Amino acid sequence: MYRCIVLLLLLGFCSNGAFAADNFPSRPIKIVVPFAAGGGGDFLVRTWANKFSEILKQAVIIENRGGGNTVVGTELVAKATPDGYTLLFVSTSLATNPSLIKNLPYKTPGDFAPIH
């Protein structure tokens, strides 16, 4: 259930450099869900993405990348082009993984930026 609440933070994190262009979005937006498909968080993101797509008049693609306590999906977003087209569904693991996993392939404060 807490993962669902954290959806509100979805708009708070994406790869660095979000929404710089005036004509944003000019292509589909990808939301990476670092959990397996079919769970509560996945359902919530898919429901929300439909409305998001209507508002932006652009396709929103959901990509489930579960594994490694969300590390697999989070790493994908951290290494994405920093243009605001790849978003991350965040959970508490974004904050807790740095203290639980010694060598993360990303830097939690450095590889992500809020969307304003």
Whether the pLDDT of residue 5 is over 50: the answer is: no
Nearest to 62 by CA among 16, 112, 28, 110: 28
| Confidence (pLDDT) at 21 | 52
Q: Sort strands 14-15 and 112-113 into parallel, antiparallel or unpaired.
A: antiparallel
Whether the pLDDT of residue 104 is over 80: the answer is: yes
Whether the pLDDT of residue 100 is over 90: the answer is: yes
Whether the pLDDT of residue 39 is over 70: the answer is: yes
- In the chain, domain spans: 25-106
The CATH number assigned to the domain with range 25-106 reads 3.40.190.150
